[in-house]
Structure 1
Amino acid sequence: MFTQLKESVPMKKDAQAKRQSTGANKAPAAWLWLAGVGFTFVVALLGYGLAQVPGFNRVGQLACAILIAVAYRQIWGYPEAIRPGIQFSAKRLLRLAIILYGLKLNIDVVIHEGLGLLLYGAGVIVLAIFLTLLIAKWLKADTSLSLMLGVGTGICGAAAIAAVSPIIKAKDEDTAIGVGIIALVGTIFAITYTILRPILPLSPIEYGTWSGMSLHEIAHVALAAAPAGQDGLAIGLLAKLGRVLLLVPLCFILMYWMKQKGKVDGNTKIEFPWFLIGFIAMSIFGSYVLGKQIPVSDGFNNGISSLTTFVLTMAMVGLGLNVNLRDLRTKASRPLIAMAITSVLLSALMFVLV
């Protein structure tokens, strides 16, 4: 009996030491995770600051932050020690940003005033995806990246790419490249629109509709349509929001397509995009509760919009760190060409139709 007691004492000590050791290991891991999230925060902040510089302000903080992240990766490599926190930003914060993005979509306005524009928007989305993939196939470009660019062109740029990337099992590197390309090309188009505005034979409403139907991001539509005045800007944003609304059904169509085409193994399940439910919930909340049942100021709305963009920027930093420039030239050039050609054709067609 005494022997058993003696043996149990060291066993208890060993168990206690093991628990202490485990606790000691958790603390550094937690700090490293926080360091990873903090790293994406700092780079996103640098991207925001760079976007305030004349010239870079046309590109936007998303693209600026991705450029900084890509440059860091090429010079110092991927910060492996803090990878869990970086991946948290790239995955979880990305979904949070899409959920918050739902507040920008006023469903009530789209349904009551933009049903006709909604039908045009559906046509724009189908055309953008079809043309991009068709040209990409002709150029023998990467299909996954081309599909994301087609979706981004047709719907709402970076947010759309971020939403569909987990559904089509895209690589983080491809997602970051796609977001960078869509931000760059969309900015070039938006600036071109503002330059052409004075010489185009379009009324403010027609010009705003053209901008909302053919440009990539909501920010690009706001930039391009502003010179047309309040009426032009309002109709442009309405047209764009109709396209954003169609992001949800498109994601479910892509899920069905992935399963039907056998793009995943038989035993592999496509993760249900629960964040889209959050996107819809926030859209409903923003459309029927916030501002109606709960009065809010313009400052509050602008603050939420800025927060959403910054959270998305942190996610883009996490994705941008996966980009290897050595592979970028061969992998991204052809999808970029396909997307650029599609954007030009889409812009020309919408110009004729309006």
Structure 2
Amino acid sequence: MKFSFLGSNKIFQKIFFVLLLLICVFTKVSPPIALLLGLVVANLSGHPFLPFNHIAIRYLLQLSVVGLGFGMNALHAISIGATSLVFTIISIVTTISFGYLIGKWLSIENKTSHLISCGTAICGGSAIAAIAPIIKSDEKQTSVALGVIFILNSIALFLFPAIGHWLNLSQQEFGLWCAIAIHDTSSVVGSANKYGQEALEIATTVKLARALWIIPVALFTTVIFKNKTSNIKIPYFIGFFILAMLLNTYVTQVALFAPKLVGIAKIGLTITLFLIGSGLNINVLRAVGIKPLLQGIALWFFIAFSALTAIIYFI
């Protein structure tokens, strides 16, 4: 229940939102704290600009990820991508397959189940946004899938760094693990940034390489759902991320001011997580329903546990 004064007074509602947003921008709060402040807005006063929230998150996240590219070395990124390629393919195929089986077992509607599976397997909300038009899911089916992903993402931002430190995972191990086991790019980057710079570089590179698998999965989905008319949404911003890495690696002049761009990108990421939190009120939980949430949790546990086991014992 929202606090009556803030929730009913539009002016104070906006002031409260802007105040917490400014705290995220100017006080260098950590990504989990930014998400927590967003949750305070969502459940205490309400988001005064909610209709624009999804668009702001999408573009701000993309710009922030591109900015992080200015802090990475292209040769190192290629090495990381090559190392994780087979691991990525296996995890995507098994997660989508397992998701199909769980969906059937729980009697979840096919389109909702497939969206949750693809969001878990690839890159969260971006994958759902790309797959939804192909299977022609309705607003409720898409919203439920997004709700599951965003709820679990929020938990991951707090849970994964704690588990990583508890298990004494190296920067490399944690970066690879969170890139595979956390759904959305925002929470992957936020968790890795909290863990360390090397983890951040590995996690961002692997996650964005993983995001490219939207294309073959979308083509597969087109065949399965027998839809030949939908266009596939390609995450073009990944190309700008690669360009940023190349400029930072090979152009000396760019490398000189790259740290400032990375700093701005990290602030952008913090704001993104604040906005994600500010859109997650109690109504989102109610709208999701227990069965889709159980499917999401089961898939999340499956990919997190299997990925961690493989990283510790085989990589």
Q: TM-score, normalised by structure 1?
A: 0.62
Larger relative contact order (Cα-Cα within 8 Å, sequence gap ≥ 6): 2
Match of 2:138 in 1: none
Is 1:284 paired with 2:242?
A: yes
Deviations, residues 98-156 of structure 1 (Å, cap 9, x unaligned): 4212333447231256522344334334344444444444344566565555555555x
SS of alignment partner, residue 172 of structure 2: helix
CA distance in 2, matches of 1:150, 1:315: 21
| One-letter identity of the residue aligned with 1:167 | A
User: Are the equivalent residues in 2 in contact too, given 1:118–1:239 (CA < 8 A)?
Assistant: no
CA distance in 2, matches of 1:254, 1:39: 43
| One-letter identity of the residue aligned with 1:346 | A
User: Are the equivalent residues in 2 in contact too, given 1:152–1:182 (CA < 8 A)?
Assistant: no
Aligned match of 2:34 in 61, 74, 88? 61
Match of 1:182 in 2: 153
Alignment RMSD: 4.1
Match of 2:52 in 1: 88
Percent identity over the alignment? 15
| One-letter identity of the residue aligned with 1:246 | A
Q: TM-score, normalised by structure 2?
A: 0.69
User: Are the equivalent residues in 2 in contact too, given 1:48–1:61 (CA < 8 A)?
Assistant: yes
Deviation, 1:94, is 3.2
SS of alignment partner, residue 130 of structure 2: coil
CA distance in 2, matches of 1:222, 1:117: 20
| One-letter identity of the residue aligned with 2:50 | I
Match of 2:233 in 1: 273
Is 1:138 paired with 2:105?
A: yes
CA distance in 2, matches of 1:118, 1:132: 21
Give the unaligned 5+ runs of structure 1.
1-34, 198-203, 227-232
CA distance in 2, matches of 1:44, 1:132: 38
| One-letter identity of the residue aligned with 2:66 | G
Deviations, residues 199-242 of structure 1 (Å, cap 9, x unaligned): xxxxx7xx333322222213323444x4xxxxxx62x4454234
1:6-85 equivalent positions in 2, closer than 5 A? 42=18, 45=21, 48=24, 59-62=32-35, 64-66=37-39, 68-69=41-42, 71=43
Deviation, 1:353, is 0.9
Inter-CA distance 211–67: structure 2 relative to 1 (3 Å threshold) = same
CA distance in 1, matches of 2:62, 2:151: 21
Deviations, residues 255-293 of structure 1 (Å, cap 9, x unaligned): 3233222365x7x634x436x21x133213311225734
Match of 2:164 in 1: 193
CA distance in 2, matches of 1:196, 1:320: 32
Is 1:104 paired with 2:68?
A: yes
Deviations, residues 18-38 of structure 1 (Å, cap 9, x unaligned): xxxxxxxxxxxxxxxxx9xx6
User: Are the equivalent residues in 2 in contact too, given 1:149–1:182 (CA < 8 A)?
Assistant: no
Deviations, residues 305-325 of structure 1 (Å, cap 9, x unaligned): 211441464356457587252
Q: Flag the structure with larger Rg.
A: 1
CA distance in 2, matches of 1:307, 1:242: 18
Inter-CA distance 320–243: structure 2 relative to 1 (3 Å threshold) = farther
Inter-CA distance 222–131: structure 2 relative to 1 (3 Å threshold) = farther
| One-letter identity of the residue aligned with 1:103 | G
User: Are the equivalent residues in 2 in contact too, given 1:102–1:283 (CA < 8 A)?
Assistant: yes
SS of alignment partner, residue 273 of structure 1: coil
User: Are the equivalent residues in 1 in contact too, given 2:108–2:291 (CA < 8 A)?
Assistant: no
User: Are the equivalent residues in 1 in contact too, given 2:96–2:121 (CA < 8 A)?
Assistant: yes
Is 1:258 paired with 2:221?
A: yes
Inter-CA distance 324–255: structure 2 relative to 1 (3 Å threshold) = same
SS of alignment partner, residue 257 of structure 2: coil
Match of 2:135 in 1: none
CA distance in 2, matches of 1:41, 1:66: 11
Between 1:212-221 and 1:109-118, the stretch displaced more is 109-118
Match of 1:310 in 2: 271
Q: How many residue pairs get matched?
A: 281
